[in-house]
């Protein structure tokens, strides 16, 4: 892993702030900027709206997909750039049992729950707790007992921070206050390193450090198995074009990878993504055990920034996470957070161009 600055370790040690969101909290746009590297965000869904980075000729491009207007996010079904939760990804049959109690959740994808339900963390207004333009922004949200069917009050926090040169760190925290509850927050940005309006990502080269996946049924609910990727279209252990084997799959990639253990003490390297035209490279490290690799299979002529229309495979999502439906699979790493415990999810992106 690259050398990490003292500033990053201070970022990790920032305390989880206990703050109740105010009713009628205003929605705003905020920018983090350091040199040519900038990130725009909104407190609606703690969402990333843009990431601008230079290519190998110094040309600046926005490399994430987003809507033209904040108003469009109120009807968003693709989760552009949002923090999703209380439990990201899918929960089968919209239910689980915990400590002898059966919890029935709000189903929003057939009979299953996706990304926290009909009004998950991506569909609420977060409070801006701290903001320094050339440093960081922290959003907080207080999720109440019974929200979308989940047990217990939960205090959530996400901090976006610029560190060193062209690095973006994201820290997601949550603390259960009075009941044990599953927590699995994820960052759902859609990446296209050639530029958000450049077309598809099938020629991007991907290296994904996951030797296994969690296979799914026809509703994308894990079966509970852990299967090796070797010899399958899911094998990206060596760099290759995303589109090289995509036609061997029914619709594209939408699967959780079991990330390989890291030799580093704190974070594991998850992904290297490259675009040969712009020369841009994205590297991603995390402390999470899984990563959802999604090739925007369900984008269907979605109108985005600058009037550009996003189509199928216009971007890739690289969502570090706990395993999907872990609450219903005891062999998966637990996502249950008990009262007084703190959930911590860290991501570090490094952008370069050559």
Q: Is 188 annotated as a binding residue?
A: yes
Q: Is 274 annotated as a binding residue?
A: no
Q: Is 280 annotated as a binding residue?
A: no
Coil vs helix vs strand at 75: helix
Question: In whole angstroms, what is the distance from residue 101 CA to residue 279 CA?
Answer: 52
Q: Which of 104, 276, 142 is nearest to 206 (CA)?
A: 276
Q: What is the pLDDT of residue 9?
A: 47
Q: Is 254 annotated as a binding residue?
A: yes
| Neighbour count for residue 256 (Cβ, 10 Å) | 30
Apex 198 CA angle, 282 and 257, nearest 5 = 40
Q: What is the pLDDT of residue 24?
A: 62
Q: Is 194 annotated as a binding residue?
A: no
Q: What is the pLDDT of residue 76?
A: 87
CB 336 within 8 A of CB 180: yes
DSSP H/E element including 8: helix 6-13
List active site positions. Answer: 188, 319
Size of the chain in residues:
354
- Strand positions, DSSP E, 204-341: 205-208, 210-213, 227-228, 240-241, 254-259, 268-274, 280-286, 290-294, 302-303, 309-310, 316-321, 336-337
Question: In whole angstroms, what is the distance from residue 150 CA to residue 79 CA?
Answer: 20
Coil vs helix vs strand at 134: coil
Residue 194: left (phi > 0), alpha (psi -120 to 50), or beta? alpha
Please state which CATH class domain 29-202+287-353 belongs to: mainly beta
Q: What is the pLDDT of residue 75?
A: 84
Per-residue tens of pLDDT for the chain, all 354 residues: 444 554 554 555 554 433 333 446 799 999 999 999 999 999 999 999 999 999 999 999 999 999 999 999 988 899 999 999 999 999 999 999 999 999 999 999 999 999 999 999 999 999 999 999 999 999 999 999 999 999 999 999 999 999 999 999 999 999 999 999 999 999 999 999 999 999 999 999 999 999 999 999 999 999 999 999 999 999 999 999 999 999 999 999 999 999 999 876 789 999 999 999 999 999 999 999 999 999 999 999 999 999 999 999 999 999 999 999 999 999 999 999 999 999 999 999 999 999
Q: Is 30 annotated as a binding residue?
A: no
| Neighbour count for residue 59 (Cβ, 10 Å) | 13
Q: What is the pLDDT of residue 19?
A: 33
Coil vs helix vs strand at 307: helix
Q: Which pTM value belongs to this model?
A: 0.92
């Amino acid at each position: 892993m690259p050398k990490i600055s003292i500033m990053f370790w201070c970022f990790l040690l920032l305390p989880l702030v206990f703050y109740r969101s105010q009713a009628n909290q205003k929605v705003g746009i905020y920018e983090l900027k350091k040199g040519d590297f900038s990130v725009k965000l909104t407190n609606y869904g703690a969402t990333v709206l843009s990431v601008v980075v230079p290519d190998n000729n110094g040309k600046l491009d926005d490399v994430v997909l987003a809507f033209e207007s904040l108003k469009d996010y109120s009807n968003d079904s693709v989760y552009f750039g949002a923090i999703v939760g209380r439990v990201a990804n899918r929960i089968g049959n919209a239910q689980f049992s915990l400590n002898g109690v059966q919890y029935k959740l709000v189903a929003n994808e057939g009979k299953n729950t996706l990304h926290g339900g009909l009004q998950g963390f991506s569909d609420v207004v977060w409070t801006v707790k701290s903001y320094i333009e050339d440093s960081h922004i922290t959003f907080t949200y207080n999720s109440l007992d019974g929200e979308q069917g989940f047990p217990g009050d939960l205090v959530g926090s996400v901090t976006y921070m610029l560190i060193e040169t062209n690095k973006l760190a994201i820290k997601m925290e949550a603390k259960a206050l009075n009941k044990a509850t599953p927590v699995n927050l994820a960052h759902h940005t859609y990446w296209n390193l050639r530029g958000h309006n450049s077309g598809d990502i099938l020629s991007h080269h991907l290296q994904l450090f996951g030797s296994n996946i969690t296979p799914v049924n026809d509703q994308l609910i894990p079966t509970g198995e852990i299967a090796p990727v070797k010899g399958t279209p899911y094998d990206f252990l060596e760099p290759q074009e995303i589109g090289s084997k995509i036609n061997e799959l029914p619709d594209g990639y939408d699967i959780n990878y079991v990330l390989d253990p890291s030799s580093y003490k704190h974070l594991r390297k998850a992904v290297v993504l490259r675009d040969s035209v712009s020369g841009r490279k994205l590297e991603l490290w995390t402390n999470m055990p899984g990563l959802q690799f999604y090739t925007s299979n369900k984008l269907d002529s979605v109108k985005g920034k600058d009037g550009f229309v996003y189509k199928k495979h216009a971007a890739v999502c690289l969502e570090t996470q706990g395993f999907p439906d872990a609450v219903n699979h005891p062999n998966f790493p637990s996502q249950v957070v008990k009262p007084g415990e703190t959930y911590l999810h860290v991501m570090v992106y490094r952008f370069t161009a050559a």
